[in-house]
Amino acid sequence: MKKLNLKKFLPQAGVATVALAAALGLVACGGTPASTGSSNGSAPAESDSSYELVTDGTITFATSPDYPPFENLEDGKYVGLDMDLGRAIAEELGLDCEYTNIDFDGIIPAIVAGGQADAGLSGISITPEREEQVDFSEPYYVDNQAVAVMSDNTALTEDNATDALNQAGVKIAVQSGSTGEAFAGENFPNAELVSFANFTDCFAAVQAGQADAVCGNIAVVNQMVGGAYANEHVIYTSATGEEYAIAVSKDNPELLAAINDAIDKLKEDGTIDELVAANMG
Amino acid sequence: MAASTNTAASPQADEPIIRICDLHKSFGETKVLNGISLDIHKGEVVVVLGPSGSGKSTFLRCLNRLEQPTSGHIFFEGQDICAPKADVNDIRKRMGMVFQQFNLFPHLDAVHNVMLAQEKVLHRSRSEAKEVALKELARVGLAERSDYYPDELSGGQQQRVAIARALSMEPHVMLFDEATSALDPELVRGVLDVMRELATGGMTMVVVTHEMSFARDVADRVIFMEGGVIVEDGTPEQVFEHPKSERTRAFIGQVTG
Amino acid sequence: MSTLSKRLPAAALVLLACLASCCMWLALPARTADAMQIVRCTGRPNSDDDATTIQGATQSRITLEATVDEGEGVDQFVLHIPDGTTFETDDLTLTLLTGDDLMTRNDVSYDLSVDGQDIVLDFDEPLVQAGHLNIIVYGVYFPQEGGDIQVGASYTLTDGSKHDIANIPTIPVVGISGPEALSQWLEQQEWVQAWNSNTFLHLFFDPTILVTSFPVVLNGFFMSVGVVAVAFPLAIPFALVLALMRLSKFFLWRGIAATYVNLMRGTPLFLQIYVAFFGLPLAGINIPNFPLGVIVLMLNSAAYMCEIFRAGIQSINKGQTEAARSLGMTGFQTMLHVIFPQMFRIVIPNLTNEFITLYKDSSLLAAVGVMELVMYARTIVASTGSITPYIVAALFYLVITLPLSRITRVLEESVRGHRSRKRHTHTPDAENAGTAKEVAA
């Protein structure tokens, strides 16, 4: 089977490559004039910056607004820690701030490809794999993890969580590709991980009994447990080392430097702490 | 088997095999049959003539309840087939029908067209059904074509397979609904020859047709319909030579030229 | 009374023990607390296969956490990484987690030096606050052949006494898989580097990710094909029943079937999937994921197939039914032996399309945790940030859909195939011969 597929796949890949080569040319051609125009346009406003932007005078962040309290849509407005941070960074840089809604797993590809957004700001944690695709800014938030279960669950409790969660037969719902998935995989390797495309579904799965527990970022878990899923409670928390940072194209080190400067300033003047307090409170 | 005892159980020749009493049929507001009464006796060949729209096809289709009569009664071998509880499937297997458009099953070859109902309705074994099918195909002159699919056969051949299919059920009556009307002229004769042979063999037949020569030569009785009623009913000689109504005379004059 | 007398010696013993420990505390002020206890020692899973596998020769990370008791006074901490495992210390993080829930981070200032496989951490101020000392070592590469990796740790107290931390769990590392090894080999190749220097090719056709995601996505392929291979055949009889109900003379059947079809076709499949996966269990109906996925796709597909079958049945000449009924066949027999065989020939192309649609729709099950084709690909895309796994998934779609359209063509031709079998004998002569014969008869 494998052999057959491989045979099938090799010529296919070749054809696809050739077919898309034209598209590639278009992308390359499309990118150059836009960036030239951008640097020309922004030159008078900021003489010291040489970075390229998708839209002149505006920094566009790609985000997946399904992850409160980091990013969420409320009445059509982007709210949450990341969203506030993005606006603060834009202000530091003297730019307008725009958000574009892209599924979480599409954000890094979108940054690599360019043209859609200048940076990814969506609770993205730094990992070696991702670092191969994009550059990361200074971390602006260190992630903690939490595990929640149904409040009436007597098998999984605060007292036995560390061992009870790491048992065969325990199903832990996680968001695909999230730090929660990585954390659960590292600390509860015996449990079965059930991946869902978005985090809300993980909670719904616990409600429905499709999973025993849900593992994810502590602030997000607290938000969910304090709101729509009040009949679930947190039984386990852990301060982990995952660092959230802004993803920037490797072709745009100037923008990365500018964002890093802005983050440093915002850290120093306490803005980031304020934003964390305001959004996680 | 049951069918043959039935036939034997009606020894009186004057007991009609089909008795039609005051048959009415309307499609919505349109009245197609307006009170038809008729007796058909065993072994009779009845040819129904009439201009198009006269209701002759509807009349024929009422006989095996492909059309549901609006009112009136049809007795077939003593049984009221219009009764709500009548078993139409049982009636139909004793009454073969041949259609203008042949209606062979296109997914089956000739022999399987003839075999299907034998197996499913008469519950004959596969081999018995095949034996009967080949016999009937030979009877209509198509023994060589038994494994041909309908679309490999000419219209005339298809119609003969359709006749064989009906005959394989050993019906007591055969109904022909313009069996040759859809055929090219040069293919008509083969079908008529088969029908002629059936008539000679003593089959009770009700034939709706435009073939005047067939009516003249083969029919025991000719019925002329118009406006949903029987206008003329008699021997071919009576109807063709001495029609009672002017309309019949005109029609016959028109089609025979 | 008797119980009191029995308890007296016990109470005396406890008192004695307290006194003794007080003396020890006075004698050894540094040993106020228990020794540091290990909390965890884990490696970061780094395989595309699943979220728990740690494999060798691929970048990973070691997290070690140990308790520090109040007043412990830890002066130096040494982490021993076994031979064969490489690591970097540039990004090493060290945090003291304190508070009731151990969620408060305290920065600790220290000097770091590396002595062979030992990471030596000298604290500027001895650790005296109760909490968990959390150390993360990045850039770790476990040995390629895998094995249970035993990390060692020891600490020195302010009094100069050195202690080992006991019972550190081993990190289970598996040998690198074939595709991973191939991927790493590819990564070293010049042509791959040149290839990947093109952003587009790198994003969509990265050879290193292609080879690792292929076997992973293959798992999902079997799942997707499995779901559809069961759901599709089951949908056919159900759709036939629905189609017959829609064509029924009885208004109730018609109404039920029409409502069902309109409901299933008029609402998004993902909603139906959500209702089944999250709604049914709340109603007390618990069905495992795979059969549930099959059932939802089957119910949805049946609604579409119903309309295909209905159109197919209606396209068959009424004369076919009349011919069959006039031979005494029942309505059911007519459907089964005359209408359905013809209808299936007519609907083959539409049915193929429906199969392909169903196969592609099976990806919607990803949303509810059924690990099918797209979900496996999505997981790798989310963790690597490359779109290449989706390209691999697309290939797996084509593996099914391309041959299928071909099979359909062959099938359609074979339906008409009997014609060519003896067309050569069908000539006007044959027709005349037949006529001549019956004339003779």
* B190/C contact by beta carbon, under 8 A: yes
Kindly give, in sequence order, each residue whose CB lies less than 8 Å from that of residue B249, ignoring residues fewer than 6 positions away: B243
Instruction: Using pLDDT thresholds of 50, 70 and 90, give the confidence band for residue B102.
Output: very high
Whole-prediction pTM: 0.72
Read off the pLDDT of residues C249-282 as tens digits, 9 standing for 90 and up.
899 999 999 999 999 999 999 999 989 888 888 8
The shortest C-alpha distance from A177 to chain C (Å) reads 5
Give DSSP secondary structure letters for C212-249.
HHHHHHHHHHHHHHHHHHHHHHHHHHHHHHHHHHHT-S
pLDDT at B248: 86
Q: What is the mean pLDDT of chain C?
A: 84
**B190 contacts in chain C (CB < 8 Å):** 434-435, 438-439
Read off the pLDDT of residues A124-146 as tens digits, 9 standing for 90 and up.
988 888 888 899 999 999 888 99
pLDDT at C424: 43
Is 70 exceeded by the pLDDT of residue C441?
A: no
- Residues paired with residue C115 on neighbouring β-strands, in sequence order: C118
Where do you find CATH 1.10.3720.10 in chain C? 207-440
Fold assignment, C207-440: MetI-like fold (1.10.3720)
Tokens read off for C321 = 């039914």
Best of B154, B167, B206 to disrupt the C interface (most C CBs within 10 Å) is B154
Best of C97, C282, C384 to disrupt the A interface (most A CBs within 10 Å) is C384
Q: Do B97 and C441 touch (CB under 8 A)?
A: no
**pLDDT (mean) for A105-117:** 87
- Residues paired with residue C238 on neighbouring β-strands, in sequence order: none
* B166/C contact by beta carbon, under 8 A: yes
Tokens read off for C326 = 């006039």
Which subunits have 3 or more CB–CB pairs within 8 Å of chain B? Answer: C
The shortest C-alpha distance from B70 to chain C (Å) reads 18
User: In this structure, how many other beta carbons lie within 10 angstroms of the beta carbon of residue B88?
Assistant: 15
Q: Which letter does DSSP use for residue C153 in this model?
A: E
Q: What is the mean pLDDT of chain B?
A: 90
Of B90, B106, B141, the CB nearest to C434: B141
Tokens read off for C133 = 């000392």
* C439/B contact by beta carbon, under 8 A: yes
Read off the pLDDT of residues B54-73 as tens digits, 9 standing for 90 and up.
899 999 999 999 999 999 99
Select from B144, B254, B143, B139 the least CA-distant residue to B201: B139
pLDDT at C263: 95
Q: Do C438 and B141 touch (CB under 8 A)?
A: yes
pLDDT at A3: 39
| Helices assigned H by DSSP within B37-184 | 56-63, 88-93, 110-120, 126-139, 155-167
**A184 contacts in chain C (CB < 8 Å):** 51
Instruction: Using pLDDT thresholds of 50, 70 and 90, give the confidence band for residue B11.
Output: very low
Select from B78, B60, C185 the least CA-distant residue to B69: B60
Best of C318, C327, C420 to disrupt the B interface (most B CBs within 10 Å) is C327
**A228 contacts in chain C (CB < 8 Å):** none
* B189/C contact by beta carbon, under 8 A: yes
Q: Which amino acid is at B237?
A: E
Q: Do C385 and A112 touch (CB under 8 A)?
A: yes
**B197 contacts in chain C (CB < 8 Å):** 441
Q: How far apart are CA B62 and CA C92, in angstroms?
A: 95
Closest residue in A to C172 (Cα–Cα): A189
The shortest C-alpha distance from C314 to chain B (Å) reads 16
Q: What is the mean pLDDT of chain A?
A: 81
The shortest C-alpha distance from B86 to chain C (Å) reads 13
The shortest C-alpha distance from C356 to chain A (Å) reads 18
Asked if C411 contacts C347 with a C-beta cutoff of 8 angstroms, the reply is: no
**A173 contacts in chain C (CB < 8 Å):** 369
User: In this structure, how many other beta carbons lie within 10 angstroms of the beta carbon of residue C352?
Assistant: 18
Where do you find CATH 2.60.40.740 in chain C? 38-177
Q: Which residue has the higher pLDDT, A26 or A179?
A: A179
Of C45, C200, C399, the CB nearest to A182: C45
**pLDDT (mean) for A256-278:** 93
On whether the C38-177 domain is CATH 2.60.40.740, my answer is yes
HSE at residue A204, side-chain half, CA atoms within 13 A, is 19
Is 50 exceeded by the pLDDT of residue C29?
A: no
Name the least confident of B121-125, C176-180, C390-394.
C176-180
Q: How far apart are CA B155 and CA C33, in angstroms?
A: 106
* C154/B contact by beta carbon, under 8 A: no
Q: Do A130 and C218 touch (CB under 8 A)?
A: no
Instruction: Using pLDDT thresholds of 50, 70 and 90, give the confidence band for residue A52.
Output: confident
Give DSSP secondary structure letters for C372-428.
-HHHHHHHHHHHH--SHHHHHHHHHHHHHHHHHHHHHHHHHHHHTTHHHHHGGG-SH
Q: Do B187 and C426 touch (CB under 8 A)?
A: no
**Dihedral through CA B123, CA B126, CA B127, CA B130, nearest 10?**
90
* C436/B contact by beta carbon, under 8 A: no
Closest residue in B to C332 (Cα–Cα): B120
Going across the sheet that includes B71-76, the strands are B30-40, B18-27, B71-76, B79-80
Percent of residues, chain B, with pLDDT higher than 70: 94
**pLDDT (mean) for C308-335:** 94
pLDDT at A22: 40
Q: How far apart are CA C192 and CA C194, in angstroms?
A: 5
Q: Do A209 and C281 touch (CB under 8 A)?
A: yes
User: In this structure, how many other beta carbons lie within 10 angstroms of the beta carbon of residue C148?
Assistant: 10
**A187 contacts in chain C (CB < 8 Å):** 40, 42
Read off the pLDDT of residues B12-50 as tens digits, 9 standing for 90 and up.
456 899 999 999 999 989 999 999 999 999 999 999 999
Q: Do A197 and C378 touch (CB under 8 A)?
A: yes
The shortest C-alpha distance from B187 to chain C (Å) reads 8
**C179 contacts in chain A (CB < 8 Å):** none
Strand pairing category for B45-49 and B204-208? parallel
The shortest C-alpha distance from C123 to chain A (Å) reads 20
Q: How far apart are CA B192 and CA B230, in angstroms?
A: 25
Q: How far apart are CA C392 and CA C218, in angstroms?
A: 9
User: In this structure, how many other beta carbons lie within 10 angstroms of the beta carbon of residue C384?
Assistant: 26
Residue A133: which H helix or E strand, with range?
Answer: helix A128-133
Is 70 exceeded by the pLDDT of residue A109?
A: yes
Best of B62, B97, B152 to disrupt the C interface (most C CBs within 10 Å) is B152
**pLDDT (mean) for B194-222:** 93
Count of B–C CB contacts within 8 Å?
103
Is 90 exceeded by the pLDDT of residue A263?
A: yes
Domains, chain A, in order of start with CATH, read 6-140+245-280 (3.40.190.10), 143-242 (3.40.190.10)
Q: How far apart are CA B253 and CA B239, in angstroms?
A: 12
pLDDT at A39: 38
Could you say which residues from 52 to 111 on chain B have a Cβ atom under 8 Å away from some Cβ of chain C? Answer: 64, 66, 89-93, 95-97, 99, 101, 103-107, 109
Select from B82, B71, B74, B80 the least CA-distant residue to B33: B71
Q: Do B140 and C422 touch (CB under 8 A)?
A: no
Read off the pLDDT of residues A218-256 as tens digits, 9 standing for 90 and up.
888 988 898 889 999 999 998 887 889 999 999 899 999
Of B99, B148, B156, the CB nearest to C319: B99
The shortest C-alpha distance from B197 to chain C (Å) reads 9
Tokens read off for B230 = 């029987």
pLDDT at A281: 62
Q: Do A16 and C391 touch (CB under 8 A)?
A: yes
Is 60 exceeded by the pLDDT of residue A29?
A: no
Is 70 exceeded by the pLDDT of residue A273?
A: yes
The shortest C-alpha distance from B166 to chain C (Å) reads 7
Q: How far apart are CA A191 and CA C410, in angstroms?
A: 48
Read off the pLDDT of residues C334-389 as tens digits, 9 standing for 90 and up.
999 999 999 988 898 899 889 999 998 998 888 777 878 888 888 888 878 888 99
Q: 3-state SS of C323-356?
A: HHHHCCCCHHHHHHHHHHHHHHHHHHHHHHHHHH
Q: Which ipTM value was assigned to this complex?
A: 0.89
Best of A176, A193, A196, A233 to disrupt the C interface (most C CBs within 10 Å) is A176
**pLDDT (mean) for B189-216:** 93
Closest residue in B to C344 (Cα–Cα): B107
Q: Do A210 and C379 touch (CB under 8 A)?
A: no
